[in-house]
Structure 1
């Protein structure tokens, strides 16, 4: 006997009350005006490894912070919630985004977390924010909740199991009505990684010609990223390749992942307490996608 197909879950709980669109637009505009009139602390701590110390590199570093604010403003407009009281920046790194958050949300309590305790110490000292303890492998909840959580390039380095576990912990850290902005690598990033092999003249191994593969001295071998993209990513929408140097540095598998929009939606569509606000491809640093989710009250 055929079993009935599972019914899609109905969203439970009420949509948190927020500003009207007109009021939300006005509130976001006021934040932007105040932010642009303020002075962002652009002193870079030596621990910050995201800075390329050239004039172009410093400008790019600054613009990445601005793109984060644009995503948060998008999320505020979509949710109508423009006055977050508690904000989390994870991972904070050396403060690439934090330095902008303290100017854009001067009235909010801003917290930071990172696997590198030295960076957390430097950021809390420089910007007056508070540290939050977070499990490096996301096996434990954060222990507190936030109205707004921004996650820069983090899950972009996780394998599938760790990615799913991290997403669950991050959603659990949302207060009722809280919003998560998660940046991730999607189909555009996957196409670029695949294209690098094509441009280099590398092709996948030909099943019918092992001799030609051997004689080519590896020219027919695709790189690890391309193999992952043309294999698991093509089949399931998620691909991962480990980077050994990063894995040794962090003491666990760490590399590059690719998550398609459809795979991402499958991870959250079974959650009746989570509302999908939006998905913005190449919304962060012109490279990463951004998924915006809200916890229902």
Structure 2
């Protein structure tokens, strides 16, 4: 019997949860899909061992952890792992620590200042962070995640790729933007392979980004010691692309 089947999912939701807007069935499906992406990425990185303990993962970082949509599945799938919950939302971090026995770490806007341990994690899951970052933040965050990994550790992060471009260009989803913002994202994707549009009234670097696969690969190659292992199109909830990287040294 698999580790996932042996461990019951903790279904408790935070009273501050905002990601259940499409209903609980979708909410939990997204979490399960993240765990599936993690398993596939670990296999691609050669992390399979024996059947009784299929993945050699003892330390995990979930950033941004939000209110636990994914971390509940990481706890189910890796019941003995030390899992760090990190986010700028303190209430989200506190909820994950209390509910899923996670190590709480309060994040910061500047990636170099995020107080997570260096050279420590077997797995770093980054769900829907790069989907909000402008281009100049990518290298900084990828470098920070590379530093957090142990040598041989695995980073899995998600992006808005070709499918998201189709949704934007057809206005199927609005991603928090008006039609003008969606048209700008689609235009930049077509012309440069990357686009970013800030949310209206938001003063920080936060917005929506879209990135072509080759553009993302170039960003990974620019980080010393970080190697691309796998790119899976719309692997997360049949929407966002998943990139698996491994720290070489």
Shorter-normalised TM range: 0.7 to 0.9
Mapped partners of 1:272, 1:241: distance in 2: 28
1:254 counterpart = 2:179? no
Query: What CA deviation, in whole Å up to 9, does each residue of 1:165-184 have, x standing for no partner?
Result: 22221122111000000011
Mapped partners of 1:99, 1:222: distance in 2: 35
Query: What CA deviation, in whole Å up to 9, does each residue of 1:221-274 have, x standing for no partner?
Result: 9612212321x32222110111125x2xxx513211001101001112244522
SS at match of 1:223: helix
Mapped partners of 1:296, 1:48: distance in 2: 37
Aligned to 1:86: 59
Mapped partners of 1:137, 1:190: distance in 2: 28
The structure carrying a bigger strand percent of its residues is 2
SS at match of 2:65: coil
Contact preservation (8 Å) 1:185, 1:289:
yes
Aligned to 2:193: 237
Contact preservation (8 Å) 1:78, 1:277:
yes
Mapped partners of 2:94, 2:113: distance in 1: 22
Contact preservation (8 Å) 2:155, 2:244:
yes
SS at match of 2:153: strand
Q: CA, structure 1 residues 222+43, in 2 after alignment: closer, same or farther (shift >3 Å)? A: closer
Contact preservation (8 Å) 2:171, 2:182:
no
Mapped partners of 1:271, 1:257: distance in 2: 20
Mapped partners of 1:252, 1:222: distance in 2: 21
Mapped partners of 2:99, 2:223: distance in 1: 38
Contact preservation (8 Å) 2:89, 2:106:
no
Q: Which has the larger radius of gyration?
A: 1
Aligned to 1:286: 238
Compute the displacement of 1:68 (Å). Answer: 0.9
Compute the displacement of 1:294 (Å). Answer: 0.2
Compute the displacement of 1:112 (Å). Answer: 0.8
1:50 counterpart = 2:7? no
User: Under a length normalisation based on structure 1, what TM-score does the superposition of the two structures give?
Assistant: 0.74
**Count of residue correspondences:** 235
SS at match of 2:111: coil
Mapped partners of 1:234, 1:240: distance in 2: 12
Compute the displacement of 1:83 (Å). Answer: 1.1
Aligned to 2:6: 37
Contact preservation (8 Å) 2:7, 2:77:
no
Aligned to 1:125: 98
Q: CA, structure 1 residues 67+222, in 2 after alignment: closer, same or farther (shift >3 Å)? A: closer
SS at match of 1:149: strand
SS at match of 1:234: helix
